[in-house]
Amino acid sequence: MKKFQFKVLNTDKYARCGIIETSRGSIHTPTFMPVGTQATVKACTIDDIKKTGSEIILGNTYHLMIRPGIERIERVGGLHQFMNCDLPILTDSGGFQVMSLSKLNKIDPEKGAIFNSHVDGKKFYLSPEESIRIQLGLNSDIVMIMDECPKKTHDYEVIKKSMNLSLYWAERSKKAFGNNPHKALFGIIQGGLFKDLRIKSLNELMKVGFDGFAVGGLAVGESQSEMFSVLDDIKDYLPSEKPHYLMGVGTPSDILGAVKRGIDMFDCVLPTRSGRTGLAFTWSGRINIKNKKYQNDDTPLDVNCKNLSLNKYSKNYLNHLFNTNEILGSMLLTLHNINFYQELMAAIRTNIKNGTFDDFHNKYINKL
């Protein structure tokens, strides 16, 4: 089995191309990870996901521990076998979902998150050790530390307290992870919108030692300019030899701006969620396929799409599918959006290699 490794291949100012080596395959960065929340990327098969050029997907600890439960997945050998996926899988720790989904939660520094399931109200305990145990049971390739993801606030003391708790949990997560050279453990940088807290969080995580560093606590209601400001604050401090992951982000323009600031990895539900509701991402901008004007448009969704199999269906036909609530519409648009995101990532990598990323960024940052 291959040991987890990361190598930077090309740079264009802060933007970088690299390659992550895992025991299940290589991942070219910058990369976008389709979200497979409940052991499925909604409305898509794994074979279809692979045809888009996706090289890694994301699974969710919180949802999988609630349904179907870790035991059922462990019994068949892990998440890859359970969902018939041979791509590398990153699993998040569950911290964000504890904040955003649970009906009732309480944070105890020693016991972790104590919360009631959003499904049936059943009480769960998710400590740093339990989160790591679950992720190792899922047999994911990249494991995230347990952190507290606070809601957006400008209260410095609240964010500082939360950041210090996340650092305490980071040390416990690292200890629980143990020696697993064929897997990776990523630390999560917290600190809200405060530069000094972000830098302190990163420096303390670097002392603990992790295989990669994620920026957490964003995509919680801040503006794009606030998010970019946080990345600007830390971009000179991120270790160049480790992958940088911006969690839960985002729109194509979010991705372009974050790559410009040194980010290598992304995940977001936006392309799949938008696809299920009739919103398509294209090189010409966004399309609401439910709009009446597409009833007389017999052209493909995106003439610039390189995956020609996705251009078999006209806007006219897709409009009909959505306005009659046919499942095929959601399937086709979801796959189209994931494919668009992967074509965007490929174009980003090409422009970084060619030293033209700034021009590419400026062309599309306000268009996509």
The residues carrying an active-site annotation are 92, 267
Sign of CA dihedral 212, 4, 92, 340: positive
Helix (H) or strand (E) holding 244: strand 244-246
User: Contact, 63 vs 37, CB < 8 A?
Assistant: yes
In Å, how far are 17, 170, 198, 284 from 241, measured between CA atoms? 12, 20, 19, 35
User: Contact, 163 vs 185, CB < 8 A?
Assistant: no
Q: Which of 25, 27, 17, 50 is nearest to 338 (CA)?
A: 50
- Using CB atoms within 10 A of its CB, is residue 328 exposed (0-12), middle (13-18) or buried (19+)? middle
Per the structure block, which two tokens stand in for 252? 């194509």
For the chain, report the end-to-end CA distance as a whole number of angstroms.
39
Cβ-proximal residues to 184 (8 Å cutoff; 6+ apart), any chain: 4, 22, 141, 142, 143, 211, 212
Per the structure block, which two tokens stand in for 86? 């041979």
